[in-house]
Every structure is written in C-alpha cells, then in structure tokens.
A and B are shown apart, each in its own frame.
Chain A
Amino acid sequence: MSSPSSYYIPHEAKWPIVGSIALFAFFAGFASLLNGGSWIVMAIGAALLVYMMVRWFGQVIAESENGQYSAQVDVSFRMSMMWFIFSEVMFFGAFFGALFYARTFSGPWLSGMGEGGAAATNAVLWSGFDYVWPNNGPEKLGGAYDAMHWFPLPVLNTLILLTSGVTCTIAHHAIKHGDRAKMVRWLLATCALGFFFVIMQAVEYYEAYAHLNLKMSTGIYGSTFFMLTGFHGFHVCMGAIILLIVMLRGTRKHFSATNHFAFEAAAWYWHFVDVVWLGLFIFVYIL
C-alpha cells in the first residue's frame, strides 16, 4: 500500500454533531429518569450514540484500510490513545482516593482518633463507634452484612484477567509476525476470558446482594466496593467489546505485520483494565 505524502485532514465531519445530540438526549433522559421520568429519551440517546460510534469508527476503519493515514497520523492516534488511558487512570484515581481517604481518615476520625475535635465529635455524635475496616459507618447503614472475601471468586477473576493479558500478548506477537489467523484465535480466547470475567463479576454481585446483604447502600464499604468494581467491570465490558471488534476486523483480513494500531490500542486498554483490577484486588478485596 502506498503511503500518503501529507497529513490526512478529513472534511465535513457529520458524526460529531450526531454524537452531541445523542449525548444530550442520553444525559437529559437519564436525569429525567432519576427525577422520576421515563427511560425512553435516555434509551434513544444511548442507541443513537452507539449508532454514531459504529458509523464514525466505520469511516475511520475504511480510511485506514484505504491507506489514507500516514505514519504521522498514526503517531497522533497513538498519542491520543495513550493520554486517553491516562485520563481514565485519573478517573479511577478519584475512587481509589475516596477509598484511601475513608479508610485512613474518615473512619478513625469518626471513632475519635486523631487530633482536634475528633474525640469530641465521637463523644457527642457517634458515641461508642469503633472503627474497623470494612465498615458501614456509625449508623450501620444497610444493616448487618458480610464483607466480600477474596477467595474464591476474586482470585479466580484475577487469574482470568492475568491469563487474558497473556493471550492478548500472544495475539499481538502473532500479528507482528503477520499471522492473522493466529491473532484471531488468541483474540477470541482473550474476549472469551474478558466476558467470562464479567459473568463472574455478575455472580459475585448476586452473591453480595442475595447472601451477604452487601449493597451499594452498605455504608462506605458498600459504596467504595460497588463504585470501584462497578466502573472496573464496565471498563472490562468496553475493553472486551473493543477486542471483539478488532477480532472481527481480523477475520475480514484487516491488519498486517506493520499496520495494526487498532489492535495495539485495544491491547493497551486491556492491560490498563488489568492493572486497575490488580489495584482493586489488593486494596478492595485483600487489605
């Protein structure tokens, strides 16, 4: 494929405005739903958003396959994906920050430890409250519960994700050697492991709600547990869908030994959700 001589600048982008309208409908609809309205507008927005992404990405894929992207365009894509993942890291950082703050500061302070007014606060407001982690607060919000144990489900999930990282790397090496069929096979394994992880998470949530009485409303423990694992699970879903699309592109003879950035971007993303999980496994489940 001949490499283009200048930087590709598309004209007349029609999908962004569709995306804005879709997001507007989604957000306005979601807010109305939370205020007691109907879910219909939100659903329309979400559907339109998915349609927009399919068409926009489809256009980009077609341009890529036509060889319209020079090496310089490739660098732009790489940089954007890198910094997008960094922004995602910071997003999770907010929730990890909340977890650490609650465990290191809020809890001990509520139980009267620490300088200043902590002792008085405890005596006057939360007399008798003794802090241990996990905790659902001095008022024991959500009632008695059991914490999620790190064994067996979370350990299994850790092994699933770590294995998926290996299969993903094998697929990467395959495409680097031009073996597209092998790439597709190992990507299939990666996706399968990814979706298996999501199913296991669903089982874990079922366990939590049905048998442990562990809910989102179970004080700060339930809040941080479901927020962190929930957003992580959502990202695993996204990552697995992205890998699935990369795999499907592979079956359509996309990608070559030298040109497979979409694969690499998906792989970076996958390793990112992997690393976040390791943080979760240590700080949410074990410690």
Chain B
Amino acid sequence: MSTAAAGHHDHDDHDHGPAKGWTRWLYTTNHKDIGTLYLLFALVMFFIGGGMALIIRAELFQPGLQLVDPLFFNSMTTMHALVMIFGVVMPAFVGLANWMIPMMIGGPDMALPRLNNWSFWIMPFAFLLLLSTLFMEGGGPAGGWTLYAPLSLQGGNSFAFVIFSIHFMGISSVMGSINIVATIFNMRAPGMSLMQMPLFVWTWLITAYLLIAVIPVLAGAVTMLLTDRFFGTSFFNAAGGGDPVMYQHIFWFFGHPEVYILILPAFGIISSIIPTFARKPLFGYASMVYATASIAFLSFIVWAHHMFTVGMPLAGEMFFMFATMMISVPTGVKVFNWIATMWRGSMTFETPMLFAIGFLVMFTIGGLSGLMLAITPADIQYHDTYFVVAHFHYVLVPGAIYSIMAATYYWMPKWTGNMYDEKWGKIHFWVSTVFLNVLFFPMHFVGLAGMPRRIPDYNLQFADWNAVATIGAFGFGFSQLIFVWVIYKCIKGGEKATDEVWEGADGLEWTVPSPAPYHTFEKPPAQYS
C-alpha cells in the first residue's frame, strides 16, 4: 500500500475483519486466528493423549495382563508422551503466545504472519504422520518417547515415520520460535523497554531461545538414529566404535531444555494471574526475569541427571548433581516471589486464581521430588520407577497443564467477549485437583517401593495403589469434559465481559475491547511513547 493511501483512508485499508468461509482458517495470517487454531488443536490432542493415558491406567488397574498386549501398551506410553509434549503443551503455549504477545506489547500482529500460518498448519500434518503409525504393521513406536538406541531401532515400519514426524514438528517449532523472537524484539510499542514487558512475554522470549537452540539438536539426534537404521552408520553401535549412551547425551541435551520449554511460559502465566487476583503488583519483577534467564542457562548443563544409572565418570555424576540442585535457587526465587505477591493482598479466588494457586502448591511438590531425584546416590534407587513418573506428572499436569487452563479462564473473556461460567469453572478446578492427586500421589509410594515404569504388569504388592491411581485417572480424564463444556458455553454466550475483565488486571491486553477486535494496536498505544 502506498503512503498516500495509508494517510487518507487508514481505517478503510486496515479495518477489515476476517475473511469469509472456511478458508479463513486455512489462509489466515491473523495472530488471533492462528492462536485460536493452536489452542483448539491442543485441546483435541489433549483428549487423544488423555485417551492413551486411560488405556495405560486401565491396563494397570490390576496386576496381570488384562486389556491390551504389551507391545501396544508400550506404544501407548510412547505415544502418550509424544502427543502430550509436542501436541498439547507446546502448541497450547504457542497459541497463547500468538494471542497474547502482540496484544501485550502493543504490536499490530506477529512479525512474520505468513510464517506463523505455516508454523501452525504443519502441526496437524505432523501428527497425522505420527498417529498413522498406530495402524502400521508392527504397531506404533514402542521404545519410549526418548527413542533410545538400540531399542528404538528395532521398531517396525513405524520407525521412519516417527523420525520424520519429529523433524516435521521441529520445523514448526523453530519457525514459530524465530517468529516470537522477532515479534518481541521488533514489534513492541514505541517506548516499551524490555524491562517493561509483561513476564509472560519475557518467559516466552527465553523459551523461544531454548527452542531455537535445542530443537535442531533433537533433529540431529534422530537423524543419526535414521542413518544408523537405514544407511549403515554406527553412531550408536559399540561394535563400530559408537556408543548407545552417546544418543542419550545428545537426546537429553535437547531433552532437558525441553522440559523448561514446557514450564517457563507457565511461569509467565502464573506471574500474570497472581498479581491480578492479589490486587498487588508482582513482587520482584526484575528478579523474576533474572531467575527465568538463570533457569534457562542452567538447563543446558544438567542434562545427564536423566542418565545417572547409565554409566558416567564420577566427576560427571557429581557435576550434573550439583548443577541440577542449583536450579532450585532461581526456582525458589520464583516461588518466593509468587507467595510474596499474595502476602497481604486483597485476594479473591476466581477460577484462574484457583488454578494458579493449585499450580503453585502442586508444581512445588513436583519440584521437591525433582530435588530428590537430583541426588545421584538416591536416584539410583528411584531411577526408572513410578517415583519418576509421579515427579514429572506433578510438574507437567498441575504445572504446565494447570497454567494453560488458568490462562484459558483468565483470558477467555478477552477472547470471546463473554464471561465463562464461574460456578462450573470452580467445579472443574476442584474435581480436577482432587482426582489429580488421587491419580499421581500414590505413584510416589509404588515408585519408592520399586515399581518400574513402562511395564504393563506388576508385582502384587503394588496392586492397591495402582487401583487407586486408575480411579483417579478416569476421574481426572472425564472431569476435563467440564472444561470443554465451559469453553463451549463461553464461546456461545454468557454475561458480557468488560474491557478490563478483572478488577486488578494490569497490562495492554485489558485496554482493548472485549472481545478483542480482529486487529489490535494498528496504531501503537500511547502509554509508553
């Protein structure tokens, strides 16, 4: 468009709404449309991954082999992890980033709108590739989501499809992250300094760097798997001078930053929600930023704590133990700051706040069991038991997933223009929280008692707590239907939301109308200039 046109008919040129028809969603370059697509995709995948989890728990309801054969069980544990990590938590965070970052920094859209469209539209195809393996000869991948060589190399026809689906998703992640970095650095409202950005923007900036740094390493690792299987290389074959443990090192060099990719945006969400409902500014903003950056840095030098029992020089075990424990310092800073934010606040407990507090309490439980696992001599007992399963589900479900739910309740009125049903939101929280603890807490007990993970059968002594966990699993799974119902109702209608939505809310996204217009901040907001 020429300068003259822009000067004369500014709103005529800019102010068009969404395109007509279903192709709107296929071709859209609008950050809100793409954010919605990401979030809906994540929601669908949440139920697919959840269904797999229920198959696992149903099989584990009783000792012995009941429902599924062991190979299928193993492919369920593998696929459940891949779906939940790459298909639910990551796309949901990217969806939230799409919706919120441009509005939070006062920018007109993402920096690279077409690339943004591609980042999303890769995802359904990548998962089509991945999920199709379940119907192939030899079944889906069954060697665990970490795809350790040599076990993963022995899979059936699915192997190459899984490797390529990881490459495929990786392309999406790297493009999406580059877009987020460019957006945050280049699209901020004039005058908004980095240290004025909301923490959600900060945590996503750091997450994007983690993604750009480690997703290519994963791509390299799985490429080596592929060539080991099909092209005769011996990266992970000791007979040829390689080493299966080398795969684990390269994989976890990706994998450990990856777990922070799954939690740093959650920290940003919680740092947005708690101040709103405590009606106080966030305690220690700068220390939050530095703590996030410290966690991100440390995440690169702790990877081998996933491998304490695999065989490593003593100096390595010691280094990775102490480096891992060091992460609890910046994490402790964060938990302290959230509590200090609530201290003497005028607190109310709407659904987002309930999820945020649930996050705070239960994520900390997961963090503390992580600290136990970090102790090398103790980890030799815990390694590959249900204690590890309990640990990472406590950081991922009431951690990452709760933060996504909190964010959904918190920002949904801004997205739809309608208030969600507070009563059902609260019911969703309480039912989920009770069942979640019924589901995951007993895993600590059976894990400490020695129950191995990723096995469809178990010793009789673990029977009672496994039955309890399965009841919790079905309760938690089905209570997520409440979530869908609340979202559906909120999209359809309900009490009209005000622009500010929440009494104590602070930030640019609350200065635009609810629902947020299709294009926001085509002219930068004045606050900062």
> How many angstroms from the CA of A94 to the CA of B220 in the assembled complex?
5
Q: Which residue of A lies closest to B124 (CB)?
A: A20
The residues of A that contact B160 with a CB separation of less than 8 Å are 30-31, 34-35
Please tell me which one of the listed residues B3, B167, B215, B250 contacts residue A27 in the complex, with CB atoms under 8 A apart.
B167
Q: Which residue of A lies closest to B253 (CB)?
A: A97
> A74-82, A177-185, A202-210: which one contacts chain B?
A74-82
> How many angstroms from the CA of A217 to the CA of B165 in the assembled complex?
25
> How many angstroms from the CA of A156 to the CA of B231 in the assembled complex?
29
The residues of A that contact B6 with a CB separation of less than 8 Å are 4-6
The residues of A that contact B214 with a CB separation of less than 8 Å are 90
The residues of B that contact A97 with a CB separation of less than 8 Å are 217, 249-250, 253
Q: B121, A20: Cβ atoms under 8 Å? A: yes
- In chain B, residues 505-520, which have Cβ atoms closer than 8 Å to a Cβ of chain A? none
Q: A141, B220: Cβ atoms under 8 Å? A: no
- Given the known inter-chain contacts A4-B6, A10-B113, please indicate yes or no for A221 contacting B241, CB distance below 8 A: yes
Give min CB distance, B12 to chain A, whole Å. 13
Chain A proximity mask over B438-468: 1 for CB below 8 Å, otherwise 0: 0000000000000000000000000000000
Is A43 on the interface with B (CB-CB < 8 A)? Answer: no
- In chain A, residues 199-246, which have Cβ atoms closer than 8 Å to a Cβ of chain B? 215-217, 219-224, 226-227
Give min CB distance, B110 to chain A, whole Å. 9
Q: Which residue of B lies closest to A33 (CB)?
A: B160
Chain A, interface SS category: helix
Chain B proximity mask over A70-100: 1 for CB below 8 Å, otherwise 0: 0010011001100110111011111101100
Is B114 on the interface with A (CB-CB < 8 A)? Answer: yes
The residues of B that contact A19 with a CB separation of less than 8 Å are 118
Q: B212, A114: Cβ atoms under 8 Å? A: no
The residues of B that contact A8 with a CB separation of less than 8 Å are 1
Say which size band chain B's interface belongs to. 35 or more
- Given the known inter-chain contacts A17-B121, A27-B165, A75-B186, please indicate yes or no for A138 contacting B230, CB distance below 8 A: no
- In chain B, residues 259-312, which have Cβ atoms closer than 8 Å to a Cβ of chain A? 311
Q: A10, B233: Cβ atoms under 8 Å? A: no
- Given the known inter-chain contacts A12-B19, A106-B242, please indicate yes or no for A91 contacting B125, CB distance below 8 A: no
Q: B238, A106: Cβ atoms under 8 Å? A: yes
Q: B112, A80: Cβ atoms under 8 Å? A: yes
Q: B224, A6: Cβ atoms under 8 Å? A: no
Is B219 on the interface with A (CB-CB < 8 A)? Answer: yes
Is A68 on the interface with B (CB-CB < 8 A)? Answer: yes
Q: A107, B241: Cβ atoms under 8 Å? A: yes
Is A258 on the interface with B (CB-CB < 8 A)? Answer: no
Q: B249, A137: Cβ atoms under 8 Å? A: no
Q: A20, B125: Cβ atoms under 8 Å? A: yes
Q: B186, A79: Cβ atoms under 8 Å? A: yes
The residues of A that contact B392 with a CB separation of less than 8 Å are none
The residues of A that contact B182 with a CB separation of less than 8 Å are 75-76, 79-80, 83
Interface residues of A (CB under 8 A from B): 2-17, 19-21, 23-24, 27-28, 30-31, 34-35, 56, 68, 72, 75-76, 79-80, 83-84, 86-88, 90-95, 97-98, 101-102, 105-107, 109-110, 114-117, 125-126, 131, 135-139, 141-142, 215-217, 219-224, 226-227
A-B contact pairs, 27 of them (CB 8 A): A4-B1, A10-B113, A10-B114, A11-B29, A17-B26, A27-B161, A27-B164, A28-B164, A34-B230, A76-B186, A79-B182, A80-B182, A83-B181, A83-B212, A90-B212, A92-B220, A94-B220, A101-B243, A102-B235, A106-B238, A107-B241, A136-B241, A138-B239, A141-B234, A215-B232, A217-B232, A220-B235
Known: A94-B220, A227-B227. 9 other contacts (CB 8 A): A7-B108, A7-B109, A16-B115, A34-B226, A75-B182, A101-B249, A137-B239, A141-B241, A220-B242
